Amino acid sequence: MLKFSDFPVFAFPGLLLAGLLLAGFSGLCFAGHLEIDIAYFTQQKKLPPPLSNLEPYIADKGIQGAQLAIRDNNTTGQFTDQKFHLHEVFVPIDGDVMVSFKKLLTDGYQLIIVNLDSDQLRQIAVMPEARQVLLFDIATRDDQLRQSACFANVLYLPPSRAMRADALAQYMLKKRWRDWFLVIGPDQQDRLYAAAVKRSAKRYGMKIVAEKTWQHSYDARRTAQSDVPVFTQGVDYDVLVVADEKGLFGEYLSYRTWKPRLVIGTQGLVATSWHRAHEQWGAVQIQNRFKEQAGRWMEEEDYSAYLAVRSIGEAATRSHANDSAAIRKYIFSSDFALQGYKGRPLTYRPWNGQLRQPVLLAAPRSIVSVAPLEGFLHPRNELDSLGFDQSETTCQSNEESIK
Amino acid sequence: MNHYLKCLLVLVFCSTAATAETVFVTLEKDNALAVVDPIAGKLLQTVSIGQRPRGIVLSKDNKYLYIATSDDDSIEIIDAETFARIGKLPSGEDPETFALNPAGKLLFVSNEDDNQLSVVDIAKKKLLKTIPVGVEPEGVAVSPDNHWIVCASETTNMIHWIASGSLEITGNTLVDPRPRAAAFTADSRQLWVTSEIAGTLMILDVDNRQISKRIHFQVPGLTPDRIQPVGVVIDRERRWGYVALGPANRVAVIDAQTLEVEKYLLVGQRVWNLAFSPDQTRLYTTNGVSNDISIIDLKEQVVTKSLKVGRYPWGVVARP
């Protein structure tokens, strides 16, 4: 292996070095001092209506994870003579995302952490100027992006809805809770989640014995006690599967159903990439470091942003490069293995850019299980038992373009 | 008759005292230390200790145990005979593992949360120096010839080489992801390092500080990602090395001459740390999930006993 103390340090004048970096000449700096510029791109969001006093609205989800990872990268960088920079762009609520993104590209940023909704992500990913950059999606769960959009320039950190539903289905199969009553919220996202649930049900031999849409025609808090029993009456089922991504009614289902049944899905037992109750595999360490920095628990977006910036760090350290092509090549190589505090090496699926990762099944204050569950086998990698496998995606061309 | 019984008792006592050996196991979740008679295969007693005890080392004169109580941010000094708490050593924050220098006077402690290695003078109970290292430092080892202190950073994926004279980092070796433990061979020529995430054992040549060999493990019926090497020990003759494979629930036996895996021994669940008996005829393993230790007869290379000790057994040492 390489010994960094032996490498000569190039004495580039700062300006020349900056110019070279912007032009993408990373090769010149090989094994010498290297600056790695990463951008974090998001738009400020309107404050949603408060659902509960328990969970205050968190405005800095995502960026805190990126900042922690930059610190970790730079701790490593002091030994490898690499310096990582994070350029943060917060587009105002009424600002133009496209214009701001174009400016980012003109400024020469090639490695961009993106915290936008799926429609906005689609818009920037298809821009011809964005073809040569590498985008790290830390916010969407969109199945369509992973299954058929086939953007070769996007890596998806969060588990897709399909991965989450599969994780729940594996656990339900293990428990033999096969008859599902599906409750769907009125939003488009809720329908997408429900579609993922139906796909998983089919995949794992579950039966959806009933399906109902929840309508917000009244104040749920006031009438849940009387309404939920009626809503769930007359159906024989094992678990109530709720699709309520915004969390508008799902919390009110537990303990109020006609029959004594458990709630899973977006509330009750949830499938998530990160949870404050997670402490195995060294997770306590990052939970502590994060809390010390941010003054709050780590959220899913923070974890995804952390992994995105750490992916870049790992690739830059090993390949001595700072340009998107070399980083991308290393990330998709068989040498890449990211440690993500979940006991297994994390890698990216070459066919759709989805990060392979264990999915936590969490109750509000404990981790119930971690998917893939023992016994769910896969010829290549057990993590591929979650979400869209290679044969289920239309993105074969993506892999070609990677090779 | 009474007299005869007394004689017998004395005899029994003397004979056990002659071959006596005590194994100490830290119990991370019980905040306690398990005291085990490995020859009788019995848990003798459990001694209450500070919060979240993990790393454990026996002083060179076998008189004291140094135990990292991570959540108390301290290292306890325990009398190895009476189990009385003698005092504390400064340790920096969240001490996890540590190593003694050959003279037994300095302790090198990895501070996982602070990205540093603390150097502690045991006699003076003083923190001599803190050395900034990579993210989440874990395994620490001192070469028997006292030239090097090495420290593995789990998230930086590096071995830091610290010169024992200057106590400065003089080199770094990039290794496979999440390096956990490091051990020198008795001749100080090789450093063995485990990678939990890549599932490998790397053999580094101390002369050039580079990886000269990578050993991969394969256990039939287990996918590669279940094989997560952690603890590693090599015998004095450099004949055999042993690697704990974590959730693979096995200890790999490695021929230290050919550097080939010879066999796998099935032990308890999530095996992490290993310790030889003083005469190196036995190996003890801590199994964190099954809450027991396994005792391995090294002559026959077979597991002879598993013994329940308490919740989350973590570190282990044997005292003659």
A342 → chain B, closest CA residue = B197
Q: Chain B within 8 Å of A318 (Cβ-Cβ)?
A: yes
Dist. CA A180–CA B28, nearest whole Å: 40
Q: Are A305 and A62 in contact (CB under 8 A)?
A: yes
Residues A5, B170: C-beta atoms closer than 8 Å: yes
Q: Are B226 and B248 in contact (CB under 8 A)?
A: yes
Model confidence at B11, in pLDDT bands (50, 70, 90)? very low
Residues A80, B174: C-beta atoms closer than 8 Å: yes
Residues B134, A2: C-beta atoms closer than 8 Å: no
Q: Chain A within 8 Å of B56 (Cβ-Cβ)?
A: no
At A131 the pLDDT is 93
Q: Chain A within 8 Å of B156 (Cβ-Cβ)?
A: yes
Residues A4, B160: C-beta atoms closer than 8 Å: no
Q: Chain B within 8 Å of A280 (Cβ-Cβ)?
A: no
Give the N- to C-terminal CA distance of chain A in Å, as an integer.
25
Domains annotated on chain A, with CATH: 4-159+275-359 (3.40.50.2300), 162-272 (3.40.50.2300)
Residues A338, B160: C-beta atoms closer than 8 Å: no
Give the N- to C-terminal CA distance of chain B in Å, as an integer.
34
Q: What are the pLDDT digits (tens) for B257-271?
A: 999 999 999 999 999
Q: Chain A within 8 Å of B210 (Cβ-Cβ)?
A: yes
Residues B134, A282: C-beta atoms closer than 8 Å: no
Q: Is the pLDDT of residue B308 over 90?
A: yes
Q: Cα separations (Å) of B176 from A343, B152, B170, B216?
A: 15, 11, 20, 12
**Mean pLDDT, chain B, as a whole number?**
92
Nearest-CB residue to B115 (from A5, A75, A314): A75
At A375 the pLDDT is 86
Distance from CA of B124 to the nearest CA of A (A): 30
Q: What are the pLDDT digits (tens) for B194-208?
A: 999 889 999 999 999
Q: Is the pLDDT of residue B299 over 80?
A: yes
At A224 the pLDDT is 67
This prediction's pTM? 0.85
Q: Are A332 and A136 in contact (CB under 8 A)?
A: no
Residues A343, B228: C-beta atoms closer than 8 Å: yes
Regions of chain A with pLDDT less than 70:
1-31, 217-224, 396-403
Q: Is the pLDDT of residue B8 over 80?
A: no
At A395 the pLDDT is 76
Model confidence at B72, in pLDDT bands (50, 70, 90)? confident
B227 → chain A, closest CA residue = A344
- Residues in chain A within 8 Å Cβ distance of B134: 75-76, 79
Q: What are the pLDDT digits (tens) for A259-318?
A: 999 999 999 999 999 999 999 888 998 999 999 999 999 999 999 999 999 999 999 999
- Residues in chain A within 8 Å Cβ distance of B113: 285, 288-289
Q: Pick the residue of A285, A293, A309, A334 with the most B CBs within 10 A to test the interface with B by mutation.
A: A285
At A218 the pLDDT is 58
Beta bridge partners of A103: none
Q: Are B306 and B268 in contact (CB under 8 A)?
A: yes
Instruction: Note whether ipTM > 0.85 here.
Output: no
Q: Chain B within 8 Å of A287 (Cβ-Cβ)?
A: no
Q: What are the pLDDT digits (tens) for A24-57?
A: 333 333 368 999 999 999 999 888 777 777 778 8
Distance from CA of B169 to the nearest CA of A (A): 9
Residues B172, A289: C-beta atoms closer than 8 Å: no
Q: Chain B within 8 Å of A118 (Cβ-Cβ)?
A: no
A380 → chain B, closest CA residue = B223
* Residue positions counted in chain B: 320
What is the token pair recorded at A197? 């649930």
Q: Pick the residue of B113, B159, B178, B214 with the most A CBs within 10 A to test the interface with A by mutation.
A: B178
Distance from CA of A142 to the nearest CA of B (A): 27
